[in-house]
A and B are shown apart, each in its own frame.
Chain A
Amino acid sequence: MEQLGNIVSTICILMAWSYLIKENAFYTFAEHLLVGMAVGRGIAYTIEVQLTPRIVDEMMGQGRWSLLIPAVIGCLIYFRFAKGYEWVSRICMAVWIGYGAGNALAFNPATYMPQVFDTFIKLDSIDNIIYFLIVISVVWYFIFTVRKDSGFGQQFSVVGRYALMIAFGSAYGSITMSYLSLIIGQLEIILRDTLHLLK
């Protein structure tokens, strides 16, 4: 059974990779298969692990009927399909956005403030000096209310721009490395698990 799974994986990988030659029916089939399976499993998982425990155990078993309130608010989103009553679905979105905004304001500073504090460092090493200067230059680059047409202000802004470009380059390099790792994972399924060519 495990070998059958590996063979199916290999066929799907090869169908997906066939896109590199050109778009074709095999690739489209693999794409639809993935989406269909993910959605199907997602629905089954949601019913089994999310809905059943909440409804059967918590609401009906423990009498936590207050859970009906968020459930009803959530269901309002389906009013998008009721002609003339689309506005009702906005209640659901309003609750969601209000919750999200409040949540972000309450919790995000706890994450970002240590970053700010970390820039208050002793300038006693090359690393710290570079770090400090880069932070200041990038912040300066993003201050658009001050004219930076010439002089030191312009030069310092350029330093900030170069720092950003180096950061983007580093991120892009990491992405390339990451994609190669993914190829290795697929090759292992084909060569080791399915064809048994690798130990």
Chain B
Amino acid sequence: MDWEKLQHIDIRILYAIILLCMIIPMFKPLGMPVAVSENTQKVYQVIEDLPDGSVIWVSHDTGSGNAPELNPMITALARQAFRKNCKLVGTAFFSETVGPTLLYDYINEVAEEMGKEYGVDWVNLGYRLNAEACMKVMVDDVWAGVGGVDWSGTSLENFPLMQQVRSIRNDVDLIFVTTVGTPGYGDWMAYVAQPLNKPLTGGASLTMYSGVQHYIRSGQLKGFLGGLRGAAEYEQLVEHPGQGLAGMDAQSMGHITVLVFLLLGNIGYFMVRGKNSRQ
């Protein structure tokens, strides 16, 4: 066998095979089990332990690239929060275009389904420049931090919920942050959660997930969801399967395909090396 070939497969063939392996389970789901991890259970529990009617600050700090991983988290959070009659106040500091729009779309979809009203049960404050300064101002004065308007430029005077939420310090019970970089959970931790001793949880893109483990361990994060997998686990706990669970079969097949190619590539490498050393 020509082992050399295994290391020089045309990358486009690999792309096509990975794509195919991911598409097939989308049409014919394999129903692979998704076990709920301890970190996801913690996220669910910290929200479940809030008194009914609490205010949750949700910051969808994502760009377009990682949004498919994080959007299902927002949907599941909205479902759990509204079920407990919790209020949601949203921001999005990572991208001025993508984050606020997605935050609105995904919460609004659940809100309409569960009969919740914008301005009464939830508000989207959107993006503001200089996240850290804005966060620090909002600790004591949310209205000043966002300039007195929501994401669409409507005055906060029009929203009954915002009459109740004047400062994060006194009026917010938990912070839920999705994160793909900076600004993200690090800023919320440094400027809001740690100084105010507020529980901070949420979810990260898998690119960042290994980097948050020590914060979970030290208790600075009350659990954290990891990518699409974390979202799928959270959907299971909320008992409402959504985009997260729907994508898990495809993702698992993608992983298996990548692993197979990694193995083949390495087998090829060692066989060629062995052959060369024998010669």
Contact = CB atoms under 8 A, between A and B. Distances in A.
Interface string B195-213: 1000000000111111100
A45 B209 CA distance: 31
A53 interface: yes
Interface stretch (B42-50, B107-115, B146-154, B162-170): B146-154
Nearest to A175: B207
B219 A114 contact: yes
Nearest to A61: B148
Contacts, number: 139
Most buried by B among A37, A182, A198: A182
Most buried by B among A50, A52, A115: A50
B251 A180 contact: yes
Contacts of B194: 110-111, 114
Interface in B223-249: 226-229, 243, 246-247
B247 A184 contact: yes
Contacts of A117: 218
Nearest to B71: A185
A75 interface: no
Interface stretch (B20-28, B51-59, B77-85, B266-274): B20-28
A49 B15 contact: no
A184 B250 contact: yes
B177 to A, nearest CB: 14
Contacts of B148: 53, 57-58
Interface in A163-199: 167, 170-171, 174-178, 180-188, 191, 197-198
Contacts of A177: 206, 227, 229, 251, 255
Contacts of A24: none
Interface string B247-266: 10011001100100000000
Interface residues of A, number: 45
A21 interface: yes
Nearest to B229: A177
Contact of A182 (B68, B186, B210, B243): B68
B251 to A, nearest CB: 5
A48 interface: yes
A20 B250 contact: no
Contacts of B209: 174
Contact of A49 (B23, B147, B243): B147
Interface of B: 12, 15, 18-19, 22-23, 26-27, 65-69, 71, 96-97, 126-129, 132, 147-149, 151-153, 186, 189-191, 194-195, 205-211, 214-215, 217-220, 226-229, 243, 246-247, 250-251, 254-255, 258
12 contacts: A38-B97, A57-B148, A107-B195, A110-B195, A111-B186, A174-B210, A175-B206, A177-B229, A177-B251, A180-B22, A180-B251, A188-B68
Interface of A: 20-21, 37-38, 41-42, 45-46, 48-50, 52-54, 57-58, 103, 107-108, 110-111, 114-115, 117-118, 167, 170-171, 174-178, 180-188, 191, 197-198
Closest 6 CB pairs of A and B: A185-B68, A53-B147, A178-B206, A118-B218, A180-B254, A181-B228
